[in-house]
C-alpha cells in the first residue's frame, strides 16, 4: 500500500520534488491548520477572522482576495507547484471543492484562528482541528463515491497531508487570556498543545511515514514504525527578519499593510493608510503573515533542507 506523507508544522514545512512527465508526484494534497494555510474556509463562517477583501490578494491570480492571509501565494501554494500541481486545493466549505475535478486534487480544511487547543477556535468561531477532521472524513466518503473504495484509499494513502498550527494558540489565546497564562506556564501550555497534536495524529493515521518540523519533539509521536524527518523551520524565517537585505528585502521590522504594526484580518483593509506599494520588498504582509515573496524564499529554503535530509 502506498505511504502517506504527513507534514506537521508550527509555521510551515515544504517538501518539493521534481515533476515526472508533467504529472504531479503525488495524487492529492490535504491541508489542515490555521491562517498560514487557510485559503478561504473562513469566508463561509460567522467569524471576524477573514481575508476575503482588498488589499488581501492584490498580487494573487486575477488580483482576487480568496481568503488567503497574504498579498499573493502561500508557501503551501508554492509547495503544490513544486510537486507538479497546476491548481490549488480548494477550501472544503466551498461548493467548488465538491466538484469531481477538485475532489481529485485534494482539499483544504484549514481555518484561520484555529489551533491545537480546541478552545482557541471556539473563541473566534472558526474550525477546530476536530471539526477539520470531521470535514476530512466527509471528503473521504465523497471520494469513495467518485473512485470506489480501493482507488479512493490508494489516492489518500499516496498523498501528502500538511498540518500548520499552534501560532494562534499563543498569540490569539494564551498571551491575552488570564485564565490560561495564570494557570499554565508557557512550557505547560506547550505540553497541552503537544498532546492535542499527538491525539490528532492518532485519530487521523495508523502508523505511517511522517515528516515534521522541530517545533514538536520526535519522541512525542505515537506508535511504532514511524520514520521521522525533523526540519528546522525557524532559521529561514529568522534569517529573513535579521538579514532582510541579504535576502533581497528592504523591510522586516514592520509589515506592508497599514502602519505595519498590528493590522491583520479586518484591520488590514482597503482604507488602511500607508499600505506599501511593493509588497515584494517586505518580509511581512500584515502584522502576522509573510508576503508572497517571503513565502517563496521560505519555500525554496525548506525545499533544499528537506531534500538534503531525505
Q: Note if 35 is an active site residue.
A: yes
- CB atoms under 10 Å from CB of 185, counted, come to 9
**Domain presence at residue 145:** yes
Residue 232 is predicted with a pLDDT of: 65
First-to-last C-alpha distance (Å) of the chain: 21
C-alpha span between 156 and 273 (Å, rounded): 45
What pLDDT, on a 0 to 100 scale, did the predictor assign at position 90?
98
- 112 vs 100: CA distance, rounded Å: 26
pLDDT exceeds cutoff 60 at 11: no
Active site residue 63: no
State yes or no: is 289 an active-site residue.
yes
Per the domain annotation, does 255 fall within a domain? Answer: no
32: in domain: yes
Is this prediction's pTM over 0.75?
yes
Say which of 4, 35, 164, 305 is annotated catalytic: 35
Cell numbers 517586505: residue: 282
Query: For residue 262, is it within any domain?
Result: no
User: Hey, how many other C-beta atoms are within 10 angstroms of the C-beta on 151?
Assistant: 13
Q: Comparing C-alpha atoms, which of 75, 146, 143 is closest to residue 106?
A: 143
Instruction: List C-alpha distances in Å: 298 to 86, 180, 250.
Output: 20, 32, 16
pLDDT exceeds 50 at position 102: yes
- The catalytically annotated residue of 286, 299, 301, 305 is 286
On average, the pLDDT of the chain sits at 85
* Rg of the chain taking only CA atoms, in angstroms: 19
CA dist 195 and 210 (Å) reads 17
Q: What is the pLDDT of residue 82?
A: 86
Band of the pLDDT at 309, cuts 50, 70, 90? low
The pLDDT value recorded for residue 307 is: 61
Higher pLDDT, 147 or 202: 147
Query: Is the pLDDT higher at 107 or at 82?
Result: 107
pLDDT value at residue 65? 98
**Confidence category of residue 15, pLDDT binned at 50, 70, 90:** very low
Asked if residue 295 is part of any domain, the answer here is no
Return the minimum-mean-pLDDT range out of 85-89, 139-143, 212-216, 294-298.
212-216
Rounded Cα distance between 89 and 177, Å, is: 34
Question: Does 174 reside within a domain?
Answer: yes
> Residue 239 in contact with residue 265, Cβ under 8 Å?
no
Task: Please give the Cα distance from 221 to 236 (Å, whole number).
Answer: 25
Domain limits at 24?
5-233
**Domains contained in the chain, number:** 1
Q: Give a yes or no: residue 227 inside a domain.
A: yes
Please check whether residue 72 lies inside any domain of the structure. yes
* pLDDT reported for residue 69: 97
pLDDT at 26: 87
Dihedral sign for Cα 66, 68, 71, 73, please.
negative
Statement: residue 106 has pLDDT above 80? yes
Catalytic residue selected from 111, 213, 289, 299: 289
What tens digit of pLDDT does each residue of 238-247 get? 999 999 999 9
Q: Residue 308 has what pLDDT? A: 60
CB 292 within 8 A of CB 283: no
Per-residue pLDDT tens over the stretch 37-64: 999 999 999 999 999 999 999 999 999 9
Mean pLDDT over 118-133 rounds to 96
- Using a 10 angstrom Cβ sphere, with 0-12 exposed, 13-18 middle and 19 or more buried, the burial of residue 66 is buried
Predicted confidence band of residue 281 (pLDDT cuts 50, 70, 90): very high
Cis geometry, peptide bond prior to residue 55 (ω within 30 degrees of 0): yes
Amino acid at each position: 500500500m502506498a505511504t502517506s506523507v504527513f507534514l506537521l508544522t508550527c509555521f510551515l514545512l515544504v517538501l518539493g520534488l521534481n515533476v515526472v512527465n508533467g504529472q504531479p508526484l503525488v495524487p492529492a494534497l490535504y491541508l489542515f491548520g490555521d491562517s498560514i494555510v487557510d485559503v478561504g474556509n473562513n469566508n463561509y463562517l460567522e467569524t471576524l477572522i477573514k481575508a476575503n477583501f482588498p488589499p488581501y490578494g492584490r498580487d494573487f491570480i486575477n488580483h482576487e482576495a480568496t481568503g488567503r492571509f497574504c498579498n499573493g501565494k502561500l508557501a503551501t501554494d508554492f509547495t503544490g507547484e513544486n510537486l507538479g500541481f497546476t491548481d490549488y486545493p480548494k477550501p472544503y466549505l466551498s461548493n467548488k471543492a465538491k466538484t469531481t475535478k477538485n475532489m481529485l486534487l485534494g482539499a483544504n480544511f484549514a481555518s484561520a484562528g484555529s489551533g491545537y487547543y480546541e478552545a482557541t477556535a471556539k473563541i473566534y468561531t472558526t474550525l477546530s482541528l476536530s471539526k477539520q477532521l470531521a470535514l476530512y472524513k466527509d471528503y473521504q466518503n465523497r471520494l469513495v463515491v467518485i473512485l470506489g473504495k480501493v482507488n479512493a484509499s490508494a489516492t489518500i494513502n499516496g498523498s501528502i497531508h500538511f498540518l500548520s498550527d499552534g501560532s494562534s494558540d499563543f498569540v490569539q489565546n494564551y498571551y491575552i487570556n488570564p485564565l490560561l497564562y495564570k494557570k499554565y506556564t508557557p512550557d505547560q501550555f506547550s505540553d497541552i498543545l503537544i498532546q492535542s497534536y499527538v491525539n490528532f495524529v492518532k485519530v487521523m493515521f495508523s502508523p505511517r511515514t511522517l515528516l515534521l518540523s522541530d517545533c514538536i519533539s520526535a519522541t512525542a509521536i505515537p506508535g511504532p514504525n514511524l520514520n521521522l524527518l525533523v526540519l528546522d523551520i525557524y532559521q529561514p524565517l529568522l534569517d529573513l527578519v535579521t538579514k532582510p537585505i541579504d535576502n533581497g528585502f528592504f523591510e522586516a521590522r514592520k509589515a506592508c499593510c497599514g502602519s505595519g504594526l498590528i493590522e491583520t484580518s479586518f484591520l488590514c483593509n482597503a482604507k488602511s493608510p500607508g499600505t506599501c506599494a511593493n509588497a515584494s520588498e517586505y518580509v511581512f504582509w500584515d502584522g502576522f503573515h509573510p508576503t508572497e515573496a517571503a513565502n517563496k524564499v521560505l519555500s525554496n529554503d525548506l525545499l533544499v533542507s528537506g531534500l538534503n535530509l531525505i
